[in-house]
Chains A and B, each alone.
Chain A
């Protein structure tokens, strides 16, 4: 078989050499800045590991939790991190299904973030368990009425789906890496890329099958993600505490997850764009489009917040009234209004006003939204529990152990992503080229001869006939 056939040029496949170079940039030899950042993030991660070992030895009593306030920072982290993951996966899936062509340079970052943050988020379900050595019983003697069982099923299924979502568009990209791997790459790694690329030769039937598979998994992952976050919401709804029985709780959680996910995608895209000089491929227009999605979701979230409090406040029964008073006017009021102003209103304004719809403005808005939504999750969880089942005032204050583990988890996301992109391309080469080729085909159909910025070139490293 010829090199031309291998690259797909025999069937008119257009290669974007500049995209390939940019996508593979993080896989090249890393400089001192990379390793310094890895060392810093690792240093931030280690205290959390130590804190967890301490918690394992001393018990959950080292947290601020007790048998009344049984959910706190860990549960907020579980919801927040899974929410972030949800945003990454659904953004990628929805943009694919709606044919949003601008998505291509950012989908890989969104999908990788989905996998990494989901893995870390799911760990909080384990961290929250006093006896993790008994978790195997979930598989063999599950208690169907336990939220832990349904969390495990929902999160486990979703985790597998996000890995498939990440892997499928990686198949042709692994082939690019396989074919480009020079002397610097070990034979084992080269063999691994060959194995993972499933013998990809960019043949039409392979492209067709991959495109179909990616669409199918995109269709599947959207209801799956909605289910996962609804299950998390219903874990509250099925627990007898004031403030957790709003009919909007499922959608409220889903919208919150999408919002925090979009905001996190903005942060991740901004970070990697700057670190690996991807400015030519990820432009301010990408940020503005993401900011528009964030604006819509932010307004929807604020609407649902008002709707929830309005109906519960109107009812104001003997259980809800003290909880709402505590949240809006008393103990938790400072935190709640910080969320409303800094986590809701300010980001909304920043992404609305044309003057602040710059990359920096959008990144600030995204940072505030992510932090604000984490705070909101804590405010969903703690005030009803602090109210107590019998309405008696209780107290919860997160401990140093909970703080250390949370900080570690936050640091672990960029750390794992940086390490992951040492092994996989940071931009989805296949998806960018797929869109370019669709544009080329459309242009051909309407009689336009050439498409700017796209060129058909041979792929370096593929000069030799590999013989099929």
Chain B
């Protein structure tokens, strides 16, 4: 029987190779395949330096924006094992943009990954940026209790300690009282 040469395995290998290659932001504009680019994250406004805005842009092979496509935003973490951690998904608008907010949880370098699955191809991009100081999010909290806070800082922990002491006393006293032979002691 005559064996027919099949192109399917070759095509599969090529497809896998193509989809596993990241599409970089600095790739030429005249792409031969859809392209996803992540802009450098920027602080979310002049006052909120704790939150960053991440924008992904998705274009087709002709450079036209692709709207209505879901983009996944991930951050690389080292637990459990080095893995991308999904933190947001957003659908691209008519201009091909998907915009999400990212609040860094640690100081230092952050490696963000964007990924969009199109028909037959998955495009990704990576952007790296550094966070100098993670700022706690107190922006929305009213500060009216500030005069009390000085006292609450020790009153509340003291109350908790007293509570624990009472609980321990009841438990130990009961247990020892029962275990001790012959009377209340």
Assess the A67–B174 pair: CB atoms within 8 A.
no
Proximity string of chain A (314-334) to chain B, C-beta cutoff 8 Å, 1 when within and 0 when not: 000000000000000000000
Assess the A130–B85 pair: CB atoms within 8 A.
yes
User: What's the Cα separation between A205 and B142 when bound, in Å?
Assistant: 55
Assess the B174–A168 pair: CB atoms within 8 A.
yes
Assess the A220–B140 pair: CB atoms within 8 A.
no
Chain B nearest CB from A176 CB (Å) reads 15
Q: Does A212 lie at the interface of the complex (its beta carbon under 8 Å from any beta carbon of B)?
A: yes
Q: Does A345 lie at the interface of the complex (its beta carbon under 8 Å from any beta carbon of B)?
A: no
Assess the B175–A160 pair: CB atoms within 8 A.
no
Assess the B80–A57 pair: CB atoms within 8 A.
yes
Chain A residues, Cβ within 8 Å of B175? 198
A213 contact from B75, B173, B179, B182, Cβ within 8 A: B173
Assess the B86–A200 pair: CB atoms within 8 A.
no
Residue of A nearest to B166 (CB): A220
Assess the A61–B184 pair: CB atoms within 8 A.
no
Chain B residues, Cβ within 8 Å of A60? 86-87
Chain A residues, Cβ within 8 Å of B74? 59, 61
Q: Does A210 lie at the interface of the complex (its beta carbon under 8 Å from any beta carbon of B)?
A: yes
Assess the A224–B181 pair: CB atoms within 8 A.
no
Assess the A216–B178 pair: CB atoms within 8 A.
no
Q: Does A98 lie at the interface of the complex (its beta carbon under 8 Å from any beta carbon of B)?
A: no
Assess the B181–A468 pair: CB atoms within 8 A.
yes
Chain A residues, Cβ within 8 Å of B179? 198-199
**A238-294 CB contacts (< 8 Å) to partner B:** 238-240
User: What's the Cα separation between A66 and B89 when bound, in Å?
Assistant: 9
- The number of residues on chain A lying at the interface, defined by a beta carbon within 8 Å of a beta carbon of chain B, is 42
Residue of B nearest to A56 (CB): B80
Proximity string of chain B (132-168) to chain A, C-beta cutoff 8 Å, 1 when within and 0 when not: 0000101011100000000001001000100110110
Proximity string of chain A (162-187) to chain B, C-beta cutoff 8 Å, 1 when within and 0 when not: 00100010010000000000000000
User: What's the Cα separation between A161 and B168 when bound, in Å?
Assistant: 9
Chain B nearest CB from A235 CB (Å) reads 12
- The number of residues on chain B lying at the interface, defined by a beta carbon within 8 Å of a beta carbon of chain A, is 44
Assess the B87–A198 pair: CB atoms within 8 A.
no
Given contacts A198-B178, A205-B177, contact A164 B89 (CB under 8 A): no
Residue of A nearest to B169 (CB): A216
Q: Does B88 lie at the interface of the complex (its beta carbon under 8 Å from any beta carbon of A)?
A: yes
Assess the B163–A213 pair: CB atoms within 8 A.
no
Assess the B164–A157 pair: CB atoms within 8 A.
yes
Chain B nearest CB from A88 CB (Å) reads 18
Assess the A61–B166 pair: CB atoms within 8 A.
no
Residue of B nearest to A224 (CB): B163
Q: Does B110 lie at the interface of the complex (its beta carbon under 8 Å from any beta carbon of A)?
A: no
Assess the A61–B177 pair: CB atoms within 8 A.
no
User: What's the Cα separation between A380 and B153 when bound, in Å?
Assistant: 29
Q: Does A450 lie at the interface of the complex (its beta carbon under 8 Å from any beta carbon of B)?
A: no
B87 contact from A59, A143, A157, A224, Cβ within 8 A: A59
User: What's the Cα separation between A59 and B86 when bound, in Å?
Assistant: 5
User: What's the Cα separation between A143 and B137 when bound, in Å?
Assistant: 11
Chain B residues, Cβ within 8 Å of A153? 160
Residue of B nearest to A208 (CB): B184
A-B contact pairs, 12 of them (CB 8 A): A59-B74, A59-B86, A66-B100, A67-B88, A67-B101, A157-B160, A157-B167, A164-B170, A164-B171, A209-B173, A210-B174, A217-B170
Apart from A58-B84, A198-B178, A212-B174, what are 8 other A-B pairs with CB-CB below 8 Å?
Answer: A57-B83, A59-B84, A60-B87, A61-B86, A67-B102, A131-B105, A209-B177, A224-B163
* Contacts from B to A (Cβ < 8 Å): 51, 72-75, 77, 79-80, 83-89, 100-103, 105, 136, 138, 140-142, 153, 156, 160, 163-164, 166-167, 170-171, 173-175, 177-179, 181-184
* Contacts from A to B (Cβ < 8 Å): 56-62, 66-67, 130-131, 133, 143-145, 153, 157, 160-161, 164, 168, 171, 198-200, 205-206, 208-210, 212-214, 216-217, 220, 224, 238-240, 389, 468
